[in-house]
Structure 1
Amino acid sequence: MWRSQLKKRSEKLPSLGIISRKRLKKTHAICNYCGKAIKTMGNTTNLLNHLSNVHPERLKDSKGKNHTTALDVFVGKSTVHYINDSARKIKIDEMVLNMIAVYVQPFSCVEDEGFIALLKEMDPRYKLPSRTYLRDVSLPIQYEKCKAKLREILNSVDYLALTTDLWTSRANEGYITVTCHFISTNFKLESAILATQHLLTPTNHTAANIADTIKSVLSDWSISQKVVCMVPDNDASMKKACESLKYKHLPCVAHTINLLVQDMLKQQILDDILSRCKTIVAFFKRSSTAYAKFKAAQKTENPYVLIQEMPTRWNSAYEMIKRIIITNEYISLVLAVSHNAPLPLSAEDIDTLKELSMLLAPFADAILSVSTNTNV
């Protein structure tokens, strides 16, 4: 049985050196791992000797129901996975981890049947590592490598600026993120996140606690003496933290502009119409039926969606107004036939929104232009 399988496998291969194809069919087998032609004359001794001398790791007995013999490997009867220290497996493991880290995928994705089937089809010999191995072993190793590389870069930099902010996750946990900005040796503006972590005392958002947390981050990277400026938001605690650290405080320009716009939108002359706009958007967000009618009324494959204004999302009021102006015809159509719907906006209301949109446009452009981290 194994003899005929060896013959069939050799028929698919080109002649090797001075060995003729006809002779190769009868006297040699081809190693699946190195492609070498192994002489065999009615027995498997040479095959086993080759495995023992060149690929000893392949002869290790596997436990369980997937037992694989050396002969199975040669005739292609069984798939043998890459060993853990093989260059191929290490490279694919790194790519999987990179996908998880860069694109914020859950570690459990390596247990998805579809993902497993895809990689098996791409490379049958590759076996995905477990989620715990990626989380507890691979990720810390790659993190330390990236950290060492960044530390080397920062050692060559003389001056740094910092941006920092406090934020809350969806799990309602508070974090602080510290990012550094510098000009590289080839005169390119670079940015790197130094830390995203809890405050040293998570329940305390005082200026002193914020300053101590930032100081610990800078100390870890050994760059405390290189910081020339800090750019936080306009919060009083952040200002005091900068004073405590004795760094120049430059309030975020985009945040300052946003505060100015928010104060303007609170004017009584605008409060009524903006409240009605938010009520209309909220109605469509609550009612899936109304939203479906709104999209269907547009008669296009890519219908517009409505945007709700949120004070913490810069330019959101401007984006909400622009979207309502564009889609008001369809909004009014659906509101007119919907139960318990708010009143549609009048022509006068739309004129007011158009004027307000023209007023807000320069502020929105300014916020976008100063929010980039790729230009000075």
Structure 2
Amino acid sequence: MSKATTINLAIDLWSNRQIKSNLGITGHFISKQWEIESVMLGCNWEIGRHTSDNILSWYNEVTAEFLLSTKEDNTDDENEDDSVSVSHSLESNVVLDHYACLAHVLQLVTKDSLAKIGQMGTVLKKCSNLVSFVRKSTIATDVLIGEARLQASNITRWNSLLKIILAILKVPDSKLAKLEDAPILTAQGRNILNDMVEILMPFEEATDTVRISCIPSARYMPHVFVY
């Protein structure tokens, strides 16, 4: 990283299952072998909310620690003056297009679509209630031993809802019938969930693709426009 002339920093903000705030900063750069390299510069458990002041303060600490805020190009070049003048000329005349984060676009598209699905919304609400019931009942937990654990949905990850649907569909009707006072999933409800899986799986595959490390989104999705 010390030999890199340009380093792009990515800041990740997330909360774990214990609802603890975390901050991470990763540096991305191109090596002299033209390979994408990534280095974790810092990961911090943040006490309190992800406020702009807290994020900026920690960002400044990390960049100062690695001398990134004052990094200069010390590369010797016989044509240094010419190259610098050309570079400045290009920077002043070229207008770069802005491309939205593909992962965030997928999140917005699926989230907005799921909010407008009418009858399917009733079935999804029943799924959420079923998950809440199972997570609060020791008897239900015992009945579902050997089945995939039903996790609550995560508002920041649309595909957590898909994983809930898949987990519920894998539970045999005979076991669900043993859960007294639990929300009842009808045969029609199961058919609706199966249809939703068929619709959402392509978005799940796209989401998994953009999560691959060291692969720029432009490689598989060169043009993403948000209106």
TM over 0.5: yes
Which residue is 1:356 aligned to? Answer: 196
Q: Whose helix fraction is larger, Structure 1's or Structure 2's?
A: 1
Given residue 306 of structure 1, which amino acid in structure 2 is its aligned partner? L
Which residue is 1:305 aligned to? Answer: 149
Q: Structure 1 residues 308, 179: closer, same or farther in 2, change over 3 A?
A: same
Check if 1:338 corresponds to 2:211. Answer: no
Quick one: distance in 1 between partners of 2:31 and 2:41? Answer: 16
Structure 1, unaligned stretches of length 5 or more? 1-153, 227-247, 296-301
Any residues of structure 2 matched to 1:248-259 within 5 Å, and which?
251-259=100-108
Which residue is 2:34 aligned to? Answer: 187
Shift of 1:373: 1.4
Runs of 4+, deviation exceeding 6 Å:
201-204
Given residue 116 of structure 2, which amino acid in structure 1 is its aligned partner? Q
C-alpha RMSD of matched pairs (Å): 3.0
Shift of 1:209: 5.2
Structure 1 or 2, whichever has the larger Rg, is 1
Count of aligned positions: 190
Any residues of structure 2 matched to 1:73-84 within 5 Å, and which?
none
Q: Structure 1 residues 169, 323: closer, same or farther in 2, change over 3 A?
A: closer
Shift of 1:195: 1.6
With structure 1 as the length reference, what TM-score do the two structures score? 0.44
SS of alignment partner, residue 159 of structure 1: coil
Alignment match of 1:213 (pick from 58, 62, 72)? 58
Q: Structure 1 residues 174, 305: closer, same or farther in 2, change over 3 A?
A: closer
Please give the per-residue CA displacement for 1:80-128, whole angstroms capped at 9, x wherever unaligned.
xxxxxxxxxxxxxxxxxxxxxxxxxxxxxxxxxxxxxxxxxxxxxxxxx
Any residues of structure 2 matched to 1:158-237 within 5 Å, and which?
158-168=5-15, 174-197=21-44, 205-206=51-52, 210-224=55-69
Mapped contact 1:290–1:334 kept (Cα < 8 A): no
Quick one: distance in 1 between partners of 2:212 and 2:22? Answer: 22
Quick one: distance in 2 between partners of 1:289 and 1:275? Answer: 22
SS of alignment partner, residue 192 of structure 1: strand
Shift of 1:249: 7.7
Please give the per-residue CA displacement for 1:270-312, whole angstroms capped at 9, x wherever unaligned.
32111101111222222232232233xxxxxx64333432222
Quick one: distance in 1 between partners of 2:137 and 2:17? Answer: 24
With structure 2 as the length reference, what TM-score do the two structures score? 0.70
SS of alignment partner, residue 162 of structure 1: strand
Q: Structure 1 residues 342, 162: closer, same or farther in 2, change over 3 A?
A: same
Structure 2, unaligned stretches of length 5 or more? 72-96, 217-227
Mapped contact 1:168–1:175 kept (Cα < 8 A): yes
